[in-house]
Chains A and B, each alone.
Chain A
């Protein structure tokens, strides 16, 4: 059974960089069938897609966060990571990592569904 687990500091100071890692177990991140994504949810609010990465390193980013986001992958450790710079209180959220399926029989990226999710980790931005 595939499992994803987020890890990283639960408290980050304003203007600093938020760093999280997602460790994948029960499956390989080195697969042409998947992207790997980050999603966040501020307390009491809705879901926001942050970005996605392929095992080869190609990425998609949310345009509203693109200037501050870097997502990377380490296939040797079966992990992918998120860095969000210059954080403010508005970046306080539960951060989820998830697997994004790339269906072989669909040519549209809109087919790419998020099927397995981590449990999420709360990151608070505060001094």
Chain B
């Protein structure tokens, strides 16, 4: 089955830039979305269609996609950005969606 691969963890100091990657063969032709999930809460959409930001999401969140890799960038990460982050896209058929394994972001 198709998989999206993310690093298990990323750690930055407050104010630094955090980058979380998501790789998968189908990403060469498919959009990626990104979700933030804080402990005990439902996921929240932070980036959709590679680089669009929903209303209410801070400008420090941005996204990009190049080749088979999508990247979520948090510029000037804050302590409140500590969370698990998941990428989301479809397989090559477009008939099945998949989440990446998730990346735990630590900001301290």
Contacts and interface: CB of A to CB of B under 8 A. Distances in A.
Interface residues of A, number: 27
Interface stretch (A25-33, A67-75, A79-87, A105-113): A105-113
B48 A60 contact: no
Interface string B88-108: 111000111111111000000
Given A47-B102, A48-B99, A108-B30, A119 B42 contact: yes
A116 B89 CA distance: 17
A13 to B, nearest CB: 27
Interface residues on chain B, size class: 20 to 34
Contact of A64 (B1, B42, B54): B1
Interface in A49-72: 49, 52, 60-64
Given A63-B96, A115-B48, 16 more contacts: A46-B100, A47-B35, A47-B86, A47-B88, A61-B96, A64-B1, A106-B49, A108-B30, A108-B31, A110-B89, A110-B94, A113-B33, A113-B48, A113-B49, A113-B88, A115-B54
Interface of A: 37, 39, 46-49, 52, 60-64, 96, 103, 106, 108-115, 117-120
